[in-house]
Amino acid sequence: MTQQPAVVPVPTQSGRADGSQPSRRSARRRMFYIALGFLAPALVLLGALVLYPIIYTVIRSFYSPGGEEFVGFDNYVTMFTNETTFTAIRNNVIWVIVAPVTCTVLGLIFAVLLDKIRWATAFKLIIFMPMAISMLAAGVIFRTMFQENPNLGVVNAALVAINSVFSDDSAYPGATVRPDAGLQDDGGTISAPGVNPGSAQNFPLVGVKQSSLPANAAEAKEAPDPDSDAISGTVWLDVVQGGGGENGEVGDGKKGLPGIKVDAVNADGTIAGTAETNDAGQYTIAGLDGQGYVVALPASNFDPGYQGVSWLSSAFINGVVILSYVWIWAGFAMIMIASGLSAMDRSLQEAARIDGASEWKVFTRITAPLLSPVIVVVFVTLIINVLKIFDLVYVIPPGTSKPAANVIAVEMWTVSFGGGDNQGLGSALAILLLILVLPSMIINIRRFRQERER
Amino acid sequence: MSDLTIVRGKRTVAQRILGFFGNSIVNVLLLIIAIFWLVPSVGLLLASLRSVADNSSSGWWTVFTAPAQLTIENYANLLANPTITGSFWNTIMISVPTTAAVVVIGSLAGYAFAWMEFPGRDWLLIGVIVLLAVPIQVALIPLARLFGSVGLFGSIFSVILFHTAFGLPFAVFLLRNFFLQVPTELLEAARLDGASEWRIFRTVILPLGLPAIASLAIFQFLWTWNDMLVALIFTNSQSQPLTVAIQSQLRQFGSNIDVLSAGAFLSMIVPLIVFFAFQRYFVQALLAGSQR
């Protein structure tokens, strides 16, 4: 981990030992042929399988889909005007801005905090481990984690669990009326029209799981006869566990539904009175002086409540895919930066601390500037890597949100191999990727040159 | 001034409390992060150990409340599936030769770049450094045609060739840097004794460069093992590796989580073993040159 061969000095030209022979020229020529022998396999493979394809792809990008016709820059124009490819390019821009920065910042934070804990090695292993697995496996993992159904997707399950801590309304999701009870179920609101004070209105409901009843639900009881200015009744689960009983009748061990809000609504739609059912499901709305109320159980009683977020929908898909990338690559940034830190001479930091500098000052004024070469390496590597991101985007988004998550590498695959059959446009997209990595190539060459001059 | 302060050092009680808390905040924070980082993999493992019915009705975390539901049925099904086992072998047949080829060809060229004097050396080396960042996408179309015209398309060999070529720039650059660390005196002494370059390569460079070669081999192996894009294009149903076989399950069944999770975990087992056994070398390779 302490080895850093990238900064090894290069041997000087004079360090060669073949000057002793009388014919230097023939010795040199011999050396050249020997070197060629050592290099040949690599040069042949690189020439035939990397260099030649680059040239071919450049030329191919100026030809029609099938390759018969020269079309000039048409493919490049298409690339920037076609909505699909344009989305892909835009998403790549988002990726390049968000993913490398997030990975580098997280890596930096982890690397700096690592100093302060005893289990640093274990922590490094845990964060770095995703680097070993394929993007396909990571894709499967994240696609599963971010499923919408909170019973299956762990993220939504956690969100729903957290939400239920803060909102304690007892809801009966999915409850409906018994079909023959003479009640209306109108978009979740269950109501009985034309009820006069002094009479009872019962609500036999179905569609609630026995297991989801609150613990305080007692056996349902008929409400006592109401006063002349009141409406009373019972809301109960009209199902007997194990079967039996008479539909629409209280008794036989049927449970009342506690905590249901009941409204008495005037003809003009205003709420004249409201009540909540008790443990036995009984309610009484008093103080009513008119006639012909609508007794309603508002939809809020049956609202399924918070169900999490549709993570894999078009709105969030890029976030999920980028998050999976960060999960994989933050470890890389952490390892690189941590090794930069461990190779660093700490005496400057110590001196600053003795002079009374705060930890934050030590970090921003001394540690971070000294680390900047490593951070640049990490950043450039991540940008190169992010530009050609393929597997995660190919695997995670379900069909409906694929267009929203598209990136250049996936689009290149789609148009040239995945059914598009347009190798002209595919070549142009590949060349775009090549152009986008050019700046990092130049940075690499610069670094190499600087290193040689040292 | 009392004994107490001397025993406890210079810091005041308040500072000590602050220090303890600061430290434990970092500990707790990193612990939470570590758990967050582990949840995805652990979730996949647990999902792969649950039955089809369980996975379609509840999430993997319910195993903590009902631990009896674990089963290896998914893996049994997977290993009874000839497509999956065949693709597992294909993955090995692709990764191992690719790694060997990259190591051999890369170390030959790395030695030449590090210790041989020949015209145009620096320019060739800069060429290699430029190729480090070339995205594989530029080679997909031309090589699909090239391999098609010589009858390699659809075979394992085409994938091996592709990965070998694109693994080389990194290999050459990494090994050149490592080989440069071999002490000059050793090589000069060998040359004065009249040892041939080939002999120096075998008896001095290779043994001394073994840690570097191990780093490269692990990196290249994992990279080839985990590849999907190249194999997706260049293989057919007989020669496809595990990644392609699994992703076709994803396409076919949509959210068939049990097959997928067991398959994905199967594809992770070998890389994880390699990772935990050789993580030191893996890290070395990353530190030496990371421009893939």
Model pLDDT, residue A22: 52
Q: Are residues B126 and B235 in the same domain?
A: yes
- pLDDT above 90 as % of chain B: 41
Asked if the structure places residue B5 within a domain, the reply is no
| B273 contact A CB<8A | no
Residue A398 — very low, low, confident or very high, per pLDDT cuts 50/70/90? confident
Greater model confidence, B10 or B161: B161
**Is the sign of the CA dihedral A216, A222, A228, A231 positive or negative?**
positive
- The contacts of residue B224 (CB under 8 Å, 6+ apart) are B94, B95, B98, B99, B163, B167
Residue A169 has pLDDT above 60, yes or no: no
Q: Are residues B256 and B142 in the same domain?
A: yes
| A435 contact B CB<8A | no
Q: Are residues B145 and B162 in the same domain?
A: yes
| A148 contact B CB<8A | no
Asked if the structure places residue B7 within a domain, the reply is no
> d(Cα A417, Cα B141) in Å, to the nearest integer?
9
Q: Are residues B224 and B122 in the same domain?
A: yes
Strand residue runs (E) in A251-378: 261-265, 271-276, 282-285, 293-297
**Is the sign of the CA dihedral B48, B53, B58, B64 positive or negative?**
negative
Work out the angle at residue A284's Cα, subtended by the Cα atoms of residues A278 and A287, and round it to the nearest 5 degrees: 145
Residue B8 has pLDDT above 50, yes or no: no
Element (H, E) at A351: helix A347-354
Q: What is the ipTM of this complex?
A: 0.86
Across the interface, which of B108, B111, B161 has its CB nearest the CB of A49? B161
Q: Give me the count of residues in chain A.
A: 454
Q: Are residues B53 and B169 in the same domain?
A: no
Average pLDDT, rounded, for chain A: 84
| B195 contact A CB<8A | no
Cα dihedral: B274, B277, B279, B281 (round 10): -90
Model pLDDT, residue B146: 94
Asked if the structure places residue B223 within a domain, the reply is yes
Model pLDDT, residue A325: 96
Asked if the structure places residue B249 within a domain, the reply is yes
Q: Which residues pair with A273 in a beta bridge?
A: A264
Across the interface, which of B23, B111, B129 has its CB nearest the CB of A444? B129
Residue range(s) defining the domain that contains residue B53:
13-70
**Contact (Cβ atoms closer than 8 angstroms) between residue A414 and residue A325:** no
Residue B289 — very low, low, confident or very high, per pLDDT cuts 50/70/90? low
User: Which of A32, A55, A133, A431 best probes binding to B when mutated, by most B CB atoms within 10 angstroms?
Assistant: A133
Q: Are residues B38 and B161 in the same domain?
A: no
Across the interface, which of B116, B162, B178 has its CB nearest the CB of A31? B116
* Boundary of a domain, candidates B70, B102, B119: B70
Interface of A with B in 274-303 (CB under 8 A): none
Asked if the structure places residue B8 within a domain, the reply is no
Asked if the structure places residue B2 within a domain, the reply is no
* Boundary of a domain, candidates B70, B91, B114: B70
Residue B251 has pLDDT above 70, yes or no: no
- Overall number of domains in chain B: 2
**Contact (Cβ atoms closer than 8 angstroms) between residue A361 and residue A352:** yes
Q: Are residues B161 and B273 in the same domain?
A: yes
Q: Are residues B44 and B187 in the same domain?
A: no
3-state secondary structure of A225: coil
Average pLDDT, rounded, for chain B: 85
Q: Are residues B178 and B211 in the same domain?
A: yes
Asked if the structure places residue B167 within a domain, the reply is yes
Model pLDDT, residue A210: 72
Greater model confidence, A365 or A20: A365
Model pLDDT, residue B184: 86
A10-41 pLDDT, tens digit each: 444 444 444 444 577 787 888 888 889 999 99
AA identity, residue A296 = A
CATH number assigned to the domain comprising residue B199: 1.10.3720.10
Kindly list the residues from chain A whose CB atom is less than 8 angstroms away from the CB atom of residue B260.
140, 144
Q: Of A266-270, A319-323, B276-280, which gets the smallest average pLDDT? A: A266-270
Interface of A with B in 178-237 (CB under 8 A): none
A170-225 pLDDT, tens digit each: 567 777 777 777 777 776 778 888 888 888 888 888 877 776 777 778 888 888 88
Q: Are residues B46 and B125 in the same domain?
A: no
Q: Are residues B57 and B119 in the same domain?
A: no
pTM, two decimals, is 0.80
Across the interface, which of B177, B201, B243 has its CB nearest the CB of A134? B243
| A74 contact B CB<8A | no
Q: Nearest chain B Cα to A19, which residue? A: B192
Interface of B with A in 120-179 (CB under 8 A): 121-122, 124-126, 128-144, 146, 161-162, 164-166, 168-169, 172, 174, 177-178
* Boundary of a domain, candidates B25, B54, B70: B70
> d(Cα A427, Cα A411) in Å, to the nearest integer?
11
Q: Are residues B51 and B122 in the same domain?
A: no
Kindly list the residues from chain A whose CB atom is less than 8 angstroms away from the CB atom of residue B288.
3-6
- Give me the residue label for tokens 């620096």: B122
Asked if the structure places residue B149 within a domain, the reply is yes
Size of interface A-B (CB pairs under 8 A): 318
